[in-house]
A and B are shown apart, each in its own frame.
Chain A
Amino acid sequence: MSINWIHNFPFFSIFLAMLGGILTALLNDGKKALRLNQLITLIVAILSLCLLLNVTANNESFTFMMGHFPAPWGNELRAGPLEALMAFVFSILMFLTVTGGQREIFSDVVSDKVKYFFIMINLIFGSILALIYTNDVFTAYVFIEINTIASCAVVMAKGHGRSIIASIHYLIMSSLGSGLFLIGLCLLYDITGHLLMPNIQEQLILLSRSGEYALPLTVVCGLVFIGLAIKSALFPFHTMLPNAYDNSTSAGAGILSGLVLKSYIILILKFIFQVFSLEVIQALKIENVLFVFGIVGMIMGSIYAFREVRIKKMLAYSSVAQIGYIFMGFGIGNMAGFTASCFHILAHAATKTLLFVSAGSLIETNGGKTGIRDLQGAGRLNPFAGVAYSVGALSMVGIPLFAGFASKYYFALSAAGGKLQLSIVLTALAVSMILNAIYFIPTVISIWSKPEGEIKPKAEPTFSFKCVCVAFMMINFILGIFFQPIIAVIEQGLRLLG
């Protein structure tokens, strides 16, 4: 086949990221490690873009057998427009986050450990890509574990006591999630005898139609979803996030909240479409559960965020709320809902990384204090970060022309099916918008208000940081204005997925 070589791209991407991790270990300098990481993410971005253009143009999705071994011995990857889009956006965001947060990494991470930090980042990147592309549930589990451990290391990177406690907390919660997921997988394997997603799906549909194994099937569903929900910090499993983000570097927090959480959600999406199939999901009423938890998460996350006085913790709680949006979209249960959720995965990833990076820079400017009150006037000293943060905040609130508005709009439209559902979704969106405004706007006001006394910036923003800010804002505006083609790609991807 003439285009066969493009089908290798997903594998190349994952391989490159993992290889990067190994190569970094050989380097002796943090700077070089950074450059390597940047290089890899850029290459992956380009590869993903090519892949994206190719699959959307051909309107196809394909499975890629690693080493051309057919199942059940081989390991399969699967790629379509959705996967390629996610990989593309995530790699760009990865690049920007790491570039934007580099100074804090070099200053705050224990100096001789910077290299290891980048190893972890590379591993995280690789596992995210793997979770996006994998077609094999066991591979998914393996990369979940890699991801978990790497994430813990990233949380720990600052090396002081609080970060160690936070990372232990993170580790325990994550392990619980992976554990449940693993048990679910075992049962699934028991019932179906397969590990590849399409094969499992075939069996499950047969089982559900025949009515056999009804109870185990429910248990499997429960275990898998709860496991992944814990990993993606759906309310009420969010407790690990705030401390973890508060104590890790901004770039790390951005990656963890913007990308890592999303990779599990993408996995959930794949489970819904490729493992359980919509039919089974609807029969088990999983969507209603997700809907309720999503809505509760939206509101509760915002309420927690509202009560928070430290900016990174506030952003963490805001992530909890935003994850709620995504689950609510899943819970709406129609294609429009999934589309909206997928869009929101992108929108939130783009916005949250932007917020963490700019917040990190603002904190640096004001001398490292993370209280919202301490940030007074930081925006005046560091206008690029200030504007970027403001853009992020407005996007979170859902002001038109920003990314957040587009996803809100699609969430609202997707709920048009039932009156009850529509009213619940609209109410939740409205309340959540108000709450978002209540906790985001004061921070924006705070960073722009006059500082008490004359404050000199503790650190000047670098040129690369400014570029990153501009790029982040452009991504936000692109998502907020030219969302129709993106939505079209997502729809195409979802169609090809299930």
Chain B
Amino acid sequence: MLDSVLTIIPVLFPVLTGAGLLTFRFKERKTLYFWVAGIVVLNALAALLMIFTHGAEPFVLFSFTDTLAFVFRVDSLSAFFGTMVSILWVLTTFYAFEYMKHEGHEQRFFAFFIMAFGVVLGLAFAGNMFTLYVFYEFLTLSTIPLVMHAMDGKARHAGKTYIIYMMAGASLAFIGFIFICLYGGNELFTLGGTLDPMLVKGNEELLRFVFLLTFLGFGVKAALFPFSHWLPAASVAPTPVTALLHAVAVVKSGIFAMIRLTYFSFGTELISGSWEQSFLLILAMVTILYGSIMALRTPHIKRRFAYSTISNLSYIIFGILLCTPQGMSAALLHLIYHALIKITLFFAAGAILYKTHKEYIYEIGGLARKMPIVFGCMAVASFGLIGVPPFAGFFSKWALATAAVDSGNPLAYVGVMVLILSALLTALYCISLLVKAYFPPKGEQADGHDPNWLMCAPLIILSAATIVVALYPQPLLQAINLIAGIS
């Protein structure tokens, strides 16, 4: 019992300290950094400790009513997501120390940044749909100030777009949440679904439709087409935000919620083979292609990566929608690979922006020669994203496609084709950038140099990590298969 009480510490601690940072003023930048680093590292350690020493016991923080309660529980999926988030958060924090110097208002930034950490962990540790929904909403709130950090016209506009999309998604998710309450109670997440079969009987059609709506609702955060516009718009935010939140934390929270919804609440049995599944599959495929094509057409580096995120998120969504354990396992694999890769790419883009103030591809001709570390890491990550073996993305693509073929769904076969097409587009939009930097047309030579170790170290660690997880995917794969229920 004591064990499970502790699970909320990594959730509450950052939220409280973040709020504290908002009110307390530091005079020196160094002291601020010291405290921020302390809080983030401590919290990450606490989270990891909880994750690796937990019993999967639920902890009820507070019961609103008899059926509505704040429940936390660290199951294997939470552990997976929580670990990923904690590690990446620490790295991003160090990167942000250097990066945020040129953005200003660091204290406000780090306050909300820390709060968001707690909220994401809360989302990961949520034990039932209500808790998940609450943190889902809070994630939106805690990240708005980060998106609008610059507070100029462009940032405000992006913030408005962001919040309106998010609220629309949340309102759809709310519908799903109510139905889950009505048809299954607000039970603890269990693999296979929590709906009461007695109540479901005769209402399958309705419930499937609700599933569709809810999925779309979570799809807003996961940038499912046509709700994906906010993501490229939000790339006005400081790079650590775009890197961590809009490639990992926020969007993957949408994905995480989708997994919870599909596999742990509604259950795949209900959805498998329905027209809703087909519809969503098609939507995911459209998103994959849309994201890739838009990425190819976008010369702004950060926005290009944002579109790439849209496309890659739908790889994961595609995996989820296969409604098979293999599909879920593939989705989780791509989730973690994409997180590592995309955060590296954004860090690299941020480093370029920070050092040279160049944002467009046509400005970076020959820059690779001047910034070898940044571009080296970017190249490694790019190859991973394309899915060139033996880089990371290949294995997740492999898992996704084989799961699709194994599922026997004809639409999934089409999906495999879409994956291939998207890989082509990915290759084009990644490599054209690299070619520009490494093999510029004669006479072009942009100026710049590598940033200091605070920015380089996270980049190098992350790109090394993408290589390691690619060369030794077996342990990771085993863990993921365990989560997905494949023995």
Interface of A with B (CB < 8 Å)? Answer: 394, 397-401, 406, 408-409, 412-413, 416, 419, 426-427, 429-431, 433-434, 437-438, 441-442, 445, 449-450, 481-484, 487
Contacts and interface: CB of A to CB of B under 8 A. Distances in A.
A400 B133 contact: yes
Contact of B141 (A399, A408, A413, A438): A399
A437 B167 contact: yes
B477 interface: no
B171 A433 contact: yes
B156 A430 contact: no
Interface string B142-174: 001000100110001001100110011011101
Given A394-B141, A484-B65, A487-B65, A413 B171 contact: no
A399 B174 CA distance: 10
A412 B133 CA distance: 15
Contact of B171 (A406, A431, A449): A431
B137 interface: yes
Task: Count chain B CB atoms within 10 A of each CB in A397, A427, A437, A484 and give the residue with the most.
Answer: A437
Contact of A430 (B64, B152, B175): B175
A461 B413 CA distance: 65
Contact of B151 (A408, A416, A450): A450
Of A400, A412, A413, chain B has the most CB atoms within 10 Å of the CB of A400
B181 interface: yes
Interface string B28-63: 000000000000000000000000000000000011
A400 B178 contact: no
Contacts of B421: none
Q: Lowest 5 A-B CB distances belong to which pairs?
A: A437-B167, A430-B171, A400-B134, A433-B171, A412-B178
9 contacts: A394-B141, A397-B167, A412-B178, A426-B174, A445-B144, A445-B148, A450-B151, A481-B64, A482-B64
B458 to A, nearest CB: 30
Contacts of B170: 433
Contacts of B182: 413, 416
A482 B159 CA distance: 32
Contacts of A401: 134
A55 B65 CA distance: 22
Given A431-B171, A433-B171, A409 B160 contact: no
Contacts of A409: 68, 178
Interface string B361-378: 000000000000000000
Given A426-B174, A427-B175, A441-B163, 6 more contacts: A397-B167, A426-B178, A430-B175, A437-B164, A445-B159, A445-B160
B11 to A, nearest CB: 14
The interface size bin for chain B is 20 to 34
Nearest to A399: B137
Contact of A449 (B66, B133, B151, B175): B151
A351 B175 CA distance: 23
Contacts of B159: 445
A9 to B, nearest CB: 30
Interface in B388-441: none
Contacts of A413: 178, 181-182
B174 A434 contact: no
Contacts of A397: 167
B206 interface: yes
Contacts of B156: 445, 449
A437 B133 contact: no
Contacts of A400: 130, 133-134, 137-138
A415 B349 CA distance: 50
A408 B173 CA distance: 13
A303 B363 CA distance: 45
A412 B174 contact: yes
A123 B130 CA distance: 44
A430 B174 contact: yes
A68 to B, nearest CB: 42
Nearest to B23: A383
B74 to A, nearest CB: 21
Interface in B60-87: 62-66, 68
B164 A434 contact: yes
Given A430-B172, A481-B64, A441 B160 contact: yes
A434 B171 contact: yes
A481 B70 CA distance: 11
Contacts of A394: 141
A483 B64 CA distance: 7
A450 B182 CA distance: 45
Contacts of A406: 64
Contacts of A426: 174-175, 178
Contacts of A441: 160, 163-164, 167
Contacts of B134: 400-401
B234 to A, nearest CB: 14
A186 B206 CA distance: 48
Contacts of B137: 399-400
Interface in B222-266: none
B114 to A, nearest CB: 19
Contacts of A430: 171-172, 174-175
A434 B64 CA distance: 25
Contacts of A437: 163-164, 167-168
Contacts of A482: 64
B160 A442 contact: yes
A419 B182 CA distance: 12
Contacts of B130: 400
B212 to A, nearest CB: 13
Contacts of B148: 445, 449
Nearest to A398: B174
Nearest to A446: B156
B164 A433 contact: no
Name which of B64, B137, B141 has the most chain A CB atoms within 10 A of its CB: B64
Contacts of A412: 174-175, 178
Contacts of B168: 434, 437
Interface in B172-203: 172, 174-175, 178, 181-182
A431 B181 CA distance: 20
B206 A429 contact: no
A449 B141 CA distance: 15
Nearest to B137: A399
A394 B144 CA distance: 13
B474 to A, nearest CB: 41
A438 B62 contact: no
B204 to A, nearest CB: 13
Contacts of A438: 164, 167
A487 B67 CA distance: 14
Contacts of B63: 484
Contacts of B174: 398, 408, 412, 426, 429-430, 433
A409 B171 CA distance: 12
A380 to B, nearest CB: 10
B138, B148, B152, B164, most chain A CB atoms within 10 A: B164
A481 B64 CA distance: 6
B206 A419 contact: yes
Nearest to B168: A434
Contacts of B141: 394, 399
A401 B167 CA distance: 16
A488 to B, nearest CB: 9
A141 to B, nearest CB: 39
A437 B144 CA distance: 13
A419 B183 CA distance: 13
B22 to A, nearest CB: 10
B182 to A, nearest CB: 5
A438 B174 CA distance: 17
A445 B152 CA distance: 11
A474 to B, nearest CB: 16
A422 to B, nearest CB: 8
Contacts of B152: 450
Contacts of B62: 481
Contacts of A399: 137-138, 141
Nearest to A437: B167
A429 B130 CA distance: 17
